[in-house]
């Protein structure tokens, strides 16, 4: 998980929860890797529990990554359940955070969760919400912050600015003081959610050549090589798949044409060379239609008439 890197985790709090970051002891981090289960026996996915110290006292930070096609209207209740289970199991005050990375922004914050009666408020549960689809990626790829750079891939992106976005991402990453291992982790995360087409990859390479000074361009190129190679590989795979599909369609069309030609010869006698060529050039759907129509043919004139009516339609 991306945030299991201490440098990226610190960057996450610095970029998205700076008021909380001031009180966390980042020199004392313990990531809980234990598989955690909900009260009804379901496996919890997308959760990261970090034990650390908050204002000098032991505390836990629950970071829940919500990644679904549609925002979940029941998120607040699930966050409450996760918080309660972790609080009881580890006997620590737990600070809950939900990071939303849906394909579109959530309809509203969904917090706090309250239960009120006429005489009292029984419950008020609040948690921080980082709603990535509501944020502009262009603002975050210019930050020298490892978490902001990675999570920008899940933010709002203008399709017309994808090349500019990728270039800013790599320039900022090259200037961010983190380990090569973390740089690779961030690059892989970004490329997974913001892949470039083969043409976009070529455009990016051209833009990289304009980076100045030379030392900066070299640093950026070292980072982008895996990303660009992945884009080229993806382009080759897409081209291969497209070629295979076209080959299968072509083979199917040729097979259908040969079958229809045999049926026509059996029903009408030998066909002329020009008629055979015309049938073989028909699209698959027309060849299939001819296979049905020939059952009603009684003379070569019927075939001539059908080809004339369907050749260009």
| The predicted structure's pLDDT at residue 110 | 62
Average confidence (pLDDT) over 51-58 = 89
* 260: number of Cβ within 10 Å: 22
| The predicted structure's pLDDT at residue 296 | 82
pLDDT tens-digit readout, 197-227: 777 877 877 787 777 777 777 777 776 655 6
Residue 238 has pLDDT above 60, yes or no: no
> pLDDT confidence of 250, banded at 50, 70, 90?
low
> pLDDT confidence of 243, banded at 50, 70, 90?
very low
pLDDT tens-digit readout, 161-176: 988 999 999 889 989 9
| The predicted structure's pLDDT at residue 239 | 46
Residue 135 has pLDDT above 50, yes or no: yes
> pLDDT confidence of 244, banded at 50, 70, 90?
very low
- Return the domain boundaries, the chain: 1-134, 257-310
């Amino acid at each position: 998980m991306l945030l299991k890197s201490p440098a990226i985790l610190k960057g996450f709090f610095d970029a998205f929860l700076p008021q909380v970051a001031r009180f966390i002891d980042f020199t004392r981090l313990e990531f809980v890797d234990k598989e955690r289960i909900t009260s009804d026996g379901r496996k919890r996915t997308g959760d990261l529990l970090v034990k650390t110290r908050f204002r000098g006292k032991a505390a836990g930070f629950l970071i829940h990554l919500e990644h679904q096609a549609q925002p979940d209207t029941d998120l607040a209740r699930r966050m409450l359940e996760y918080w309660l289970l972790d609080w009881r199991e580890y006997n620590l005050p737990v600070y809950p955070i939900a990071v939303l990375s849906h394909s579109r922004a959530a309809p509203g914050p969904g917090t706090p969760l309250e239960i009120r009666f006429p005489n009292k408020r029984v419950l008020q549960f609040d948690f921080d919400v980082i709603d990535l689809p509501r944020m502009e990626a262009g603002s975050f790829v210019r930050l020298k912050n490892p978490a902001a750079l990675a999570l920008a891939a899940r933010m709002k992106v203008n399709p017309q600015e994808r090349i500019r976005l990728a270039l800013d991402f790599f320039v900022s990453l090259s200037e961010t003081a983190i380990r090569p291992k973390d740089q690779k982790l961030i690059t892989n995360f970004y490329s997974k959610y913001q892949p470039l087409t083969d043409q976009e990859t070529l455009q990016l390479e051209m833009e990289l050549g304009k980076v100045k000074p030379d030392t900066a361009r070299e640093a950026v190129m070292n980072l982008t090589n895996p990303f660009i190679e992945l884009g080229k590989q993806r382009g080759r795979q897409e081209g291969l798949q497209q070629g295979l599909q076209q080959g299968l369609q072509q083979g199917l069309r040729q097979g259908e044409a040969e079958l229809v030609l045999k049926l026509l010869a059996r029903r009408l006698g030998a066909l002329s060379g020009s008629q055979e060529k015309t049938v073989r050039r028909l699209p698959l759907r027309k060849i299939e239609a001819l296979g049905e129509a020939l059952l009603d043919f009684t003379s070569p004139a019927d075939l001539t008439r059908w080809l004339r009516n369907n050749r260009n339609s």
